[in-house]
Structure 1
Amino acid sequence: MVKKILAVTIILLAIIFIVVILSNSYEEPLEHVMVDSYGQPMIDFELNNTDSKLYSVTSDSGKPKLLNFWTSWCQYCKEEAEHLNEIYSNYKDDLEIVSINLTSSDNKEEAMDFIKKYNFEFPILLDYEGTIASQYRITAIPTNYFVNSDGTIKAITYNLTTSNSKNLIEELIRK
């Protein structure tokens, strides 16, 4: 009987420990992170846009890029949406912004509602198969790749705001 009580107590403590760890791990969004992709060439890709037309994203366009990966159910993605519109408004002539919905992990109708709600003016692509998310090793959302005009990856961020991206974007544009 004592062994059963001890076993149940240990299991309950383990469950409580796991719940506490998981609930605290996403309280604050991650900010600016440099990973092993830094300096590597971006991966060119093609996806359908929201009008079902094929859209190409290539490293040889000569323009710096912001690649934004998101889902409609992600709270941080919702917070980021306003900043993306502002960034686009401020830098649309100098920075190519492409937003990729992880449609393989999202509901297309909800994604379309999200797009309509935030009135995005930049290209929105739909990754139905998760192929591009896999190639870019997306493990957290939102994820933002900043790409130099020569097609190399400059930085990856997980919490994009107008203020924390300003210096990075201006550095990309100056190159």
Structure 2
Amino acid sequence: MMKFKYIKLLWVFLYFSSSQHLLANESNLVLKNQQGELFELNKIVGKKPVYLKFWATWCKPCMEQMPHFQQAYEQYGDTIDTIAINIDLNDDPTAVAAVKKEFNLTMPIMSDHTAKVAQHYQFIGTPFHVLLDKTGKVIFQGHEADKALDNTVRLLSHDGVVAKPRLLDEGNKQAATALVIPEFGLKAILYTATWCDWYLADTRPKMATNCAAAQKQINLLTNQGIDTEARVSQLWTDQAAVDEYIEKFKVIHPVYIDHGNDLFIDNKISSVPTLVIYKNGHMVNRISDFTSPVNLQSK
């Protein structure tokens, strides 16, 4: 139950602030549409209000909010540019298309295939709503489909600006621990999530089983004397979640949160778990299927 309480806390952890000024008119903020074509956000930002919703097909509250999202698009789509952004983590186009059909979604649906758009908007968990005014300034961030979101959307639809931003707290931002790759020998890095073995158990049982198997196998590699560590996604995660994960799996190697999502982006991690193997300072293998034992001694 503590895990679900933690997620709920993330949804409600909002506060009023007028000191943040995120702008989105950067050339590297690129999404991919369902036809595989690239779309630059700066084509629409700064012209009229923009509503971005980050979601995943395996995210239960995302699915619960889809009717609300479609209704908002139908009501305000003419005055507010709206995009449904799949975060492209443990997801695929077939699952996205199924959600589109199930909820009769008619807004543009795109994927954050580089994860850089989510990073820019300080994404920490799905569902995640981001509203920009007509100047390109971010004036709302939140997780719930509530009155605060509805009121902000309504105000934006009238004149394109909102006097008082409502943004997530940035006060607890942390820097990620630097990753050190040795010049000689083997190094194994497991990219995973503290929640993937239990949260995906109902919606993606094979993925959940694979997550648990990965951690158990990395423990075995550590016992063999191989230099191992885990980098966990910042999604839905804090140090308390990491500590619980370590205790649950009796982890015997270092575990670090990838604050800022830089390593996940740099290594193009689009699914968890993924094991990245280095030898003598060079990446030599990536493993994402842990149904069979991992043997690195011959690498």
TM-score between both structures, scaled by the size of structure 1: 0.76
CA contact (8 A) 2:130 2:140 kept: yes
Q: Is 1:42 equivalent to 2:24 in the alignment?
A: yes
Q: Is 1:56 equivalent to 2:40 in the alignment?
A: yes
Structure 2: give runs of 5+ residues left out of the alignment: 162-299
Structure-2 separation of matches of 1:102 and 1:72: 9
CA deviation digits over 1:66-89, x for unaligned, max 9? 110000010110011101110011
Structure-1 separation of matches of 2:13 and 2:141: 7
CA deviation digits over 1:64-119, x for unaligned, max 9? 01110000010110011101110011111111111110113423321221122122
1:36: Cα distance to partner?
8.7
Q: Report sequence identity in percent.
A: 20
Change (3 A) 1:61 1:24: closer
Q: Is 1:146 equivalent to 2:131 in the alignment?
A: yes
1:31: Cα distance to partner?
4.0
1:21: Cα distance to partner?
2.8
TM-score between both structures, scaled by the size of structure 2: 0.47
Q: Which residue of 2 aligns with 1:26?
A: 7
Which deviates the most, 126-135 or 136-145?
A: 126-135
CA contact (8 A) 2:10 2:125 kept: no
Larger RCO (CA within 8 A; separation ≥ 6): 1
Structure-2 separation of matches of 1:136 and 1:105: 20
Letter in 2 for 1:40: L
Structure 1: give runs of 5+ residues left out of the alignment: 1-19
Greater helix content: 1
Q: Which residue of 2 aligns with 1:69?
A: 54
Q: Which residue of 2 aligns with 1:15?
A: none
Q: Which residue of 2 aligns with 1:171?
A: 155
SS state at 1:103 partner: coil
Change (3 A) 1:112 1:122: same
Which deviates the most, 82-91 or 126-135?
A: 126-135
Q: What does 1:157-168 align with in structure 2 at a 5 Å threshold?
A: 157-161=142-146, 163-168=147-152
Structure-2 separation of matches of 1:119 and 1:41: 31
Runs of 4 or more, structure 1, over 4 Å off, are: 34-37
Structure-2 separation of matches of 1:77 and 1:29: 14
Letter in 1 for 2:24: M
Which deviates the most, 35-44 or 57-66?
A: 35-44
Q: Which residue of 1 aligns with 2:87?
A: 102
Q: Which residue of 2 aligns with 1:4?
A: none
Letter in 1 for 2:7: Y
